[in-house]
Structure 1
Amino acid sequence: MSSRREPVPFAFVAEADRFRSNVTPPPRERLSRTQFAARTLVGMTVVAGLVGSLLFGVPALQPHPNPVTSQQSEASGGR
């Protein structure tokens, strides 16, 4: 009856794996120019935001010498 190892209580569940519909889905609607432009602008905005966050974030994460500490050590060494 079926090639499954476990018992299946309903026959239609066992046959659902090989069921094929003869109904074709409707064709996808083409995007209008305004929809295409809107999606493109949204995508470009997201990419620009990611690039901008990298441009501002990476230098902020870099270690840099503290000028206040170096001035204090020079002043304390002169006494």
Structure 2
Amino acid sequence: MNNIRSLFLGLLSVAVIAGTVLLTASFLALVAGLAAVTLIARMLMPAPKRAPVYAKARKAEEMRIWNDGRGTIIDQ
């Protein structure tokens, strides 16, 4: 009876370890597949064109310059 119980526990532990290895390998394959699909999609997508940013300068009278004791501040 002891030998049968030991054999059963041994086979059960081997099955649990094999299941854990299989689960880990499947998660690894899933993550690797998602990473590959993401990288391939990013490689095939065209890069967006940069839109120009238009800035309007203020008049010279609106510019304020002062010194706060730690450095000169220029407010445009």
Classify the TM-score, shorter chain. Answer: 0.3 to 0.5
Higher strand share: 2
TM (norm. structure 2) is 0.47
TM (norm. structure 1) is 0.45
